[in-house]
Amino acid sequence: MSDIKKVVLAYSGGLDTSIILKWLQENYQCEVVTFTADLGQGEELEPARQKAAGLGIKEIYIEDLREEFARDFVFPMFRANTLYEGEYLLGTSIARPLIAKRLVEIANETQADAISHGATGKGNDQVRFELGAYALKPGIKVIAPWREWDLNSRESLLAYAEKHAIPVEKKKGKSPYSMDANLLHISYEGGILEDTWAEAEDDMWRWSVSPENAPDKATYIEIRFENGDPVAVDGVNMSPAQLLAHLNKIGGANGIGRLDLVENRYVGMKSRGCYETPGGTILLKAHRGIESITLDRETAHLKDDLMPRYASLVYNGYWWSPERLALQALIDQTQQYVSGDVRLKLYKGSVSVVGRRSDHSLFDLSIATFEDDRGAYNQKDAEGFIRLNALRMRIAANKGRKLK
């Protein structure tokens, strides 16, 4: 007899997690609590409640976490200008610590013995969910059915669903890809994308028009930042979730935010995915734009040095680790003067910063001008500066050291 009496399941209402729900009841003979998060995936979540209730679930959690997601997870990550392997804006990765947090909190509220998720044994999400859960509740039991059961094909899953009368929705026009969506992005995997030479089909993309079909006239927008976070677009104040959703709409209409990437998973394999992140692509460009006039050189370069490490921590599931929290404290300290406005030009898939202004700007026209600076900068000072910086190379050259 299992000592697991109650499990909190991260439940989407789809086929896989519905089968997991029944499998937990059957194999662990336990009570199941379902948790479904609205992270801005754009789907109606009430069917998940109805499906869970139909499978005998008494405790059903469906929660709107869009504001918390944008405010406490997406925006802190963007303060670091985070890109994994130089390209990926981490849309899936950044959602997992929030889901893990709520799984643990609901387990505490319902006095559950374990949590469960639908991540496979090949992917990154199993690591992200479980590292987060163990950091927040070290003694929590985690059940990962994909690592335990023998339902390892679509046919076996469908046979299990039929045997246990689990409803299988057959949506007209259902995407052939494995997709994950939230307020920051949509990801696409599987299908034709498993051939790294094959170009993604244009009708795969859900949020954006192709750059070729984007408007022939550029769109200009202005984003206001306060302490490193965006707070308004075109003079209209918005909440974090509202602002990100608004930029998704504008960016998508201009063909912005598409990415085709072969990435290195934490578990060791390479994986090809396509990502659609219109608002995030705009935000990254805008944030770097406002930092360009408000951060001094060494602070900006330090952030750039640390960013890949920060990105790997997020990608690999270490959001709740002491090293990520320490890096975040440093990054947030750099943002105290990152306030002002950035004007951007959106045109056929591209985002360009065309203007930036701030009361905290370090750009000093009296020094930087190509015109007469009236003695603000003594150009003769550069001679000694250059000679001192060349000293070590001059000494080496005088000793006959070769440069090849």
Active site residues: 16, 96, 125, 178
Burial class (CB in 10 A: 0-12, 13-18, 19+), 23: buried
Euclidean distance between CA atoms 281 and 248, whole angstroms:
9
Q: Are 258 and 205 in contact (CB under 8 A)?
A: yes
Bridge pairing between strands 219-226 and 229-233: antiparallel
**Amino acid making up residue 121:** G
d(CA 296, CA 150): 56
User: Do the beta carbons of residue 347 and residue 256 sit within 8 Å?
Assistant: no
Give the whole-angstrom CA distance, residue 105 versus residue 111: 10
Contact criterion met (CB below 8 Å) for 311 and 225 = no
Q: 225 forms bridges with which residues in the sheet?
A: 230, 340
Relative to beta strand 340-347, strand 6-10 is: unpaired
- Residue 392: partners with Cβ closer than 8 Å, 6 or more residues away: none
CA–CA separation, 117 and 180 (whole Å)? 14
For 165, how many CA atoms within 13 A lie in the half-sphere containing its CB?
3
